[in-house]
Amino acid sequence: MPFSFQHTALKFLKITGIITAAILLLLFLIPLLFPGKVASEVKKIANERLDTKLDFTKSRLSFFTHFPSLTVSLDDLSMTGSAPFGNDTLIKAEQVAFGINLKRLIFDNEVKINKLYISKALINVMVNQKGQANYNIYIAPEDKKNQKEDAEEGTALRLERIDLEDCHVKYNDRSAKILIDAKGFNYVGKGNLSEDIFDLNTDAKIDSVDFYYNRTAYLRKKEVRADLITRINTHALSFILQKNELKINKLPLKFTGLLTILRDGYKINIKAASEKTTLKDLFSVMPPEYLTWMNETEISGNSDLLFTFKGDYNVAKKLKPDLAFNLKIEKGAINYQNAPAPLTDFQMNLNAIMPSLDIEKLLINLNTLKFKVGEKDYFTAYLHSKGFTEMDVNASVKGALDLATVDAALGLTSLELKGILKTNLQARGTFSTTKKLFPKTIGGISLRNGWLKTESYPNPITDITLVANVLNKAGTFKDLIVSVAPASFAFEGNPVYINATLSDFSDLAYNAKVKGELNVGRIYKVFSRKGVDITGYAKADLSLKGKQSYATNGQYDKLDNKGTIILKNIKATSELFPKAFFIKQGNFRFQNEKMWFEKFDASYGKSDFAINGYLLNTINYFLESNGTLSGDFNMKSKLINVDEFMALEKGENKDRNIEVDYAKEDHPKMSGVVIIPKNLNVGLKTNVDKIEYNGLVFNKLAGKVGITKGNFYLEKTTFNIIDCLLGVDANYKDESPTSAHFDAHFTAKDFSVQRAYKEIPMFHNMVSAAEKAQGIISVDYTIKGDLNGNMGPIYESMEGGGILNLRDVQVKGMKLFDGISSQTGQKGLNNPDMKGIEIVSTIDNNLIHIEPFTFTVAGFKPTIKGTTSFDGLLDLRMRLGLPLFGLIGFPIVITGTHDDPKIKIFSKTGQKINDAVYDEKNNKVIKEEKVSKRKR
């Protein structure tokens, strides 16, 4: 028996070893037998089924990359998106691997992909403002017959598993104003993905996710766990959420519903709920800087959260889903480090509905918001509103709070509050600026013995007093009265006082006094933000009294506005410009309708401005929602650098408008154009020593420049450029951050043609024949067109015409005249002197049309006319008049290019140059000019 057992065991081990060795051998051999087959088939399916650019550095076939699956791995894979995102990355991965059906590969010699693995990838999903997405890269088979053939032979996708490891997923939908940024995205999805309808089992983990809506962060750096079962219908590309459990930090959410992805939008019916959870779990989704505070605070109470999103989303058809939100909090309590008086009895019941995502239909029902602090302090409020621009309101706010007690209960570590705050305010009615309606209102707010200190600055704002009352008995603007008397505070020993009464908001009557001085830089540090620095000093002593109608009707004698504002070393930014304006000194004096700039010295980057003059009706500008500032100024400057004002240039200003931010994302290499403010009507008599623009230098600008209704103009202005006085009348208007339109009239007398060719790009392109010319010319030209995203002219867009006067020009070594001289045998034609000649031309669609002009050279009288292009194409006609008087002559045709002219004598047959085609609406060149195949 021992011998038999030993023999059997050895035999078993030997067989097992042979089988194991054979399996290991096969694991190494199979990839070697099919490497070309698999790689070629993967490329084939990509080319046939994907409308995208796919690149990878190398491919490998192995069992050991994702054991035990046989996978073909593509290293350093990149894939671009569908139109109009053909140049933008959709996927960029360290490795993408496709699992291969081993049985079909060995026995049928077919590549059937059943698994997908993506590692360390950036998955960048983009949707533009028109609703066009970059993920529409899949090319569907033409008909069902093709689908059947694909299913039976060749390469096929029959996925059973999708695995994403440590990926970065970005979803940026500009049409819906949604941005999701998920880092550390790990995902495993299992199911028979090749079926038309299948269940996808998902296990997902996200280390950090941000969620933004309309550029406002609602989630930042939150950890997410997900256990999902989703039924997917591939015919309709719809997702039925069956079992979908998420956890955002500690807040559990359950999703149910339906999402169908359409080519031009979505069909949505989603419900998300977090029921019977704790207030502490709800607070766990707060911004990450509050998590330390949560660990040191006792939080109790119950919460229920419900979110629904239902309807169709289609930008082209202007369809949007309904959004609804409900939050309930009961028995809430917050106690920071055993505060003497905790916040208790916190209750909240909020319902909000936005039909069709239309803010004008917004419904808000804040039925309850109340809490207590200690035994005496309380706060209670409710709000019922309907609409936005025209809003029906029913609201009440009542409270009496010792802010120091509230501060201790909440543990506001970043700031300290003191003071007695009382409020009692009721409002009911309609708010509408267009109909001049205001809810019937009574009540006010008061803060006494206020005190504010933040961790950003060692000294507090003290002695804060605010007593404000509102009264409106009839529900109209006319009956609204707001009084602020008094309001005051002190900062670092400097008191500031404000008293104001405002009434009859249909024709606003104001009586306000402001007096005090502040170190703006220091008080800003009290409220400072990282990455922002404001310095400076402000002093005001103002008394303002009057009515809006006094200014608008020209009854300036009834206004009683007087006083001064002094600013020093103030840094300020505008959303239109990348850099900050630095006001070295600004002395302003108010005199009835005018705000005088008595001394105003400012800079912007390298540019500087010294301004004096006045703005008109500044008070009305601040009171009206769409007001326009008017004014008249004198301005002196040593340097204005136009390049620094271009919208997409780098600068310290991070608070830009959304169009600029989008343009910077889309065109990272562009400088943008200069955006002109739309609410200015200002003229400036200028004296500027030097202007820099796109490599050009203009000296001694004099004349009038101004802004009116978003249009920048130059009126009877002169510059000095290349030692010549250039006269310009022009208009400029931006159309987007990357496009603008201009309309200009230029006059320049007696300048060097060679310097103009070398130093002025537009002249270089318009008069390319000047390369070999020497001498003095003048120009009188009118031209209009568009500017591109680098503030350069789009030649295909330009239209215009004018006169080029050759006072005394010599042309030597020009291939055109050299060729004519060689063809005719007349050497005197190769270096003509051209004096007193006027060349009239027009510009359209990238072509320059030259009217006939005649000159004399070596006894000959050439007459030239025809067409040339900004790209150097030629279609010119010449009549070479013979000595003595040119009465007899013969025709010459010049085609080809400036660099390689084709000359035919005794010929009238040329080649027409077809116009370029330009889309003015979209600032896009549709087709470049080219030589026609037809002779003429």
Query: How much is the average pLDDT of 726-731?
Result: 94
Residue scoring higher pLDDT (9 or 207): 207
Which residues, 6+ apart, have CB-to-CB distance to 469 below 8 Å?
A: 443, 444, 481, 482, 483
pLDDT value at position 620?
A: 74
Give residue-wise pLDDT tens across range 339-348: 889 999 999 9
The DSSP letter of residue 882 is P
pLDDT value at position 429?
A: 96
| 277 φ/ψ angles, rounded to the nearest 5 degrees | -105, 180
Q: What is the DSSP string of 806-845?
A: EEEEEE-S-HHHHHHHHHHT-GGGSS-EEEEEEEEEEEET
SS3 category, 749: strand
ω into 403 cis (within 30 of 0): no
Query: How much is the average pLDDT of 586-597?
Result: 91
pLDDT surpasses 70 at 100: no
Highest mean pLDDT: which range of 260-269, 451-460, 793-802, 884-893 = 793-802
Cβ–Cβ under 8 Å, residues 847 and 929? yes
pLDDT value at position 649?
A: 92
pLDDT value at position 292?
A: 75
3-state secondary structure 270-285: EEEEEEEEEHHHHHCC
pLDDT value at position 40?
A: 60
Q: Which residue type occupies 89?
A: T
Cβ–Cβ under 8 Å, residues 567 and 549? no
Give residue-wise pLDDT tens across range 689-698: 999 988 888 8
Give residue-wise pLDDT tens across range 111-127: 556 678 889 999 998 88
Give residue-wise pLDDT tens across range 36-52: 555 565 666 666 667 77
The token pair at 886 is 């040119």
Determine the Cα–Cα distance for residues 365 and 327; give it in Å rounded to an integer: 11
Q: Kindly state the helix (H) or strand (E) to which residue 758 belongs, with its residue range.
A: helix 753-759
pLDDT value at position 373?
A: 93
What are the CA-CA distances from residue 82 to residues 1, 95, 317 (Å)? Answer: 74, 21, 22
pLDDT surpasses 60 at 266: yes
Burial call 21-55: b when 16+ CB within 10 Å, e when fewer: eeeeeeeeebbeebeeebbebbeebbeebeebebe
350 pLDDT tier (thresholds 50, 70, 90):
very high
Give residue-wise pLDDT tens across range 135-164: 877 665 554 444 444 444 444 445 677 888
Cβ–Cβ under 8 Å, residues 587 and 599? yes
The DSSP letter of residue 359 is G
Give residue-wise pLDDT tens across range 617-670: 787 777 666 678 889 999 999 999 999 999 999 888 877 888 888 888 888 889
pLDDT surpasses 90 at 55: no
Give residue-wise pLDDT tens across range 73-89: 788 888 888 888 888 88
Which residues, 6+ apart, have CB-to-CB distance to 105 below 8 Å?
A: 30, 34, 38, 70, 111, 112
Mean pLDDT of the chain: 83
Determine the Cα–Cα distance for residues 848 and 756; give it in Å rounded to an integer: 18
What are the CA-CA distances from residue 307 to residues 216, 246, 475, 693, 713 (Å)? Answer: 18, 14, 35, 53, 52
pLDDT surpasses 50 at 21: no
Residue whose tokens read 């917004």: 362
Which residues, 6+ apart, have CB-to-CB distance to 255 below 8 Å?
A: 228, 241, 244, 245, 246, 270, 271, 272
pLDDT value at position 137?
A: 76
Residue 26, Cα to own-chain centre: how many angstroms? Answer: 55
Residue whose tokens read 């030649």: 795
Residue scoring higher pLDDT (192 or 283): 283
The DSSP letter of residue 88 is S
684 pLDDT tier (thresholds 50, 70, 90):
very high
3-state secondary structure 570-620: EEECCCCCCCCEEEEEEEEEEECCEEEEEEEEEEECCEEEEEEEEEECHHH
